[in-house]
Chains A and B, each alone.
Chain A
């Protein structure tokens, strides 16, 4: 029945002279997600609207699912498109459409017309009344309600005529790439993919960094992170995943620093490496999945101690989320199942029974002095040997 979709977008509407940049980014990303969908699609801008038109056979459900993953879209309206063959034909087609779309006629409605083509013989008000009476004529059981209708029959008169009455909620946010790029610290857990998703939602492109520690972490753990990155990229577009071998640094910390400070010190070096890679790759910030108090390394003191090494902004979109709230999002975006696969990640392998929960930055720094002789070399080796995976 539907051969086209009208794409509604929110915040880009108010971006003034930069608006076309945002619209183009949105059009590009729509094209990108539709590449994997069965069917031929034409995506075009027309007078403040984006239309997705189909040619021939296509998979409706798959198309909707793909469009729902595009940031910047607030609503997807399946549209019936018709040639302008006079009002009678237009009214008949509209009645047929409503009959098919609403088999159960137990609802109230109103017609809301927009006449973009000003030479159409009827004006908007006339269309509302005339079409409304045709509909009531066809289905006497349904009622008009101009204030709180169950169904709003929207009509747009352009070169062709467009009729729609449903709006499927979109992902919201901003079109991808309209707000620069940031580096996501991606572990194999539940939180970091969600954090990446949330920042990407605001139009930020993403690269990711993963720290692995063979033989303490396995290739399967790494594969799991690749899989997670792939799921996030369904929303956030293509990304680069930097895999850093962290083993030697971890062992050096283990050898030379107090064991209850291992995790904090380790995270500080992870941040430093991530920051280095971020700068090299034109990222404007770091993204982590930290949430206050979730574990010992995420108390305010620990966050402060970790943050102290960063000169770049660190975005922590989950900072006030409860675990269950994070899980809900991860289930919704489809990362949960992968995240809970039981492979050890490098944050847990040497974790102390009683790690410090209120680290003092000065004490941590003093402990790090024990690494002075080796750490620069180890950091350089880790950065030089980084593996880049295109997702």
Chain B
């Protein structure tokens, strides 16, 4: 049996999405900027994708910018807003548990003279709203908080944070990295008070190399990629039409039968967590009853996470140690450090992440394998 439990790293593309991508690549391969019929046909795919996405968010089509994925969306949001609004102020607020796609561009802005405040989180991985309120200032121009954390699944209080931002820092825009929450939760930026929102295609059974950034039409923002002026000058470069078409369909499909999928995921997670907690010396990071239904972060004290990862891999179970996007370099996870997870738990943390395609049989199999391998792995450790 195979169990792919690394869906927060990436997902398998839906068949219908892959078919659509193929059709666009082989048949409707025009450049949307071309004046002939083939160009117009290609343009229709881009428009249709905007329409599909805008509908899931309840926003306008022109508020969607297609990007090369989550990292570019985050970079565009932060750098673009900072560049366009630096006269209004140079203070930016974020959290200690963001993805590197947030922290790295902010480091660049810090070098350029911006001041960045990183809010700490509690043991549950969630920020404290009072602390946010305290840090918001007259010259705060941007607040960026992730919706669902990629490593432990903690959910930040986005709506409440948005209210505070509007009250205390009227000049500030509110950006949300929704890469792990879009498609799993209803996300409506306008209702939540979110001005910019990043999404990645391949986390929701769409293609890799494509994503989008929602930008409220009132936001002052500058492009970070320049050239032929595509996408109203906001993102130059020939549109990735196959990817964009696939992304639109994947977004639409993600929100079909959402309630059912959520129920399925919650049920899976509850059973899986109860199973995990029956094993010896296992801790679950964050308050599992309150974290996102598709992510379980477990610490298996006494076993190094890479070793457990490879032992599971040997049984065709695929998981992450820490966060997959950064785990090629073994460095302690920033999120777990910020949550003050003790070292012995930190180095033994494994992330299981599900998709609505995950079945209970796969999880039951995983629990069974864990029961078998943990005692052996614990017997052989480094001194």
Contacts and interface: CB of A to CB of B under 8 A. Distances in A.
Interface string A275-289: 000000000000000
A216 B310 contact: yes
Given A342-B329, A342-B330, A214 B310 contact: yes
The dominant DSSP class at the B interface is helix
Nearest to B308: A215
A350 interface: yes
A349 interface: yes
Interface string B281-299: 0000000000000000000
Given A342-B329, A342-B330, A344-B306, A215 B314 contact: yes
Nearest to B373: A215
Interface string A314-358: 000000000000000000000000000010100001111100000
A251 interface: yes
A254 B306 contact: no
A215 B313 contact: yes
A350 B382 contact: yes
Nearest to A254: B380
Interface string A227-268: 000000000000000000000000100100001000000000
B311 A215 contact: yes
A259 B108 CA distance: 48
Contact of B383 (A215, A216, A259, A342): A259
B87 to A, nearest CB: 44
Given A342-B329, A342-B330, A352 B383 contact: yes
A313 B309 CA distance: 40
Contact of A215 (B307, B329, B330, B382): B307
A295 to B, nearest CB: 16
Interface string B59-79: 000000000000000000000
A218 interface: yes
Interface size class of B (residues with CB under 8 A): 10 to 19
Interface string B372-383: 000001001011
A350 B304 CA distance: 12
Contacts of B330: 342
Interface in B305-345: 306-314, 329-330
Contact of B382 (A214, A342, A351): A351
B307 A350 contact: no
Contact of A353 (B329, B377, B383): B383
A214 B313 CA distance: 10
Interface in B127-173: none
B350 to A, nearest CB: 13
Contact of B380 (A217, A219, A344, A350): A350
A340 to B, nearest CB: 11
Given A342-B329, A342-B330, A218 B382 contact: no
Contacts of B310: 214-219
B383 A218 contact: no
B344 to A, nearest CB: 16
A83 B31 CA distance: 56
Contacts of A214: 310, 314
Q: Which of B311, B377, B383 has the most CB of A within 10 A?
A: B383
B307 A216 contact: yes
A260 to B, nearest CB: 9
Nearest to A355: B383
Interface in B349-383: 377, 380, 382-383
Q: Which of A216, A218, A219 has the most CB of B within 10 A?
A: A216
A67 to B, nearest CB: 36
Given A342-B329, A342-B330, A218 B380 contact: no
A344 to B, nearest CB: 7
A378 to B, nearest CB: 15
Contacts of A344: 306
B30 to A, nearest CB: 35
A37 to B, nearest CB: 33
B115 to A, nearest CB: 34
Nearest to A354: B383
A247 to B, nearest CB: 10
Interface of A: 214-219, 251, 254, 259, 342, 344, 349-353
24 contacts: A214-B310, A214-B314, A215-B307, A215-B311, A215-B312, A215-B313, A215-B377, A216-B307, A216-B310, A217-B310, A218-B306, A218-B309, A218-B310, A219-B310, A219-B313, A254-B380, A342-B329, A342-B330, A349-B382, A350-B380, A350-B382, A351-B382, A352-B383, A353-B383
Q: Which 4 A-B pairs have the closest CB atoms?
A: A215-B310, A215-B311, A218-B310, A352-B383
Given A216-B310, A218-B309, A259-B383, 12 more contacts: A215-B307, A215-B308, A215-B309, A215-B311, A215-B312, A215-B313, A215-B314, A215-B377, A216-B307, A342-B329, A352-B383, A353-B383
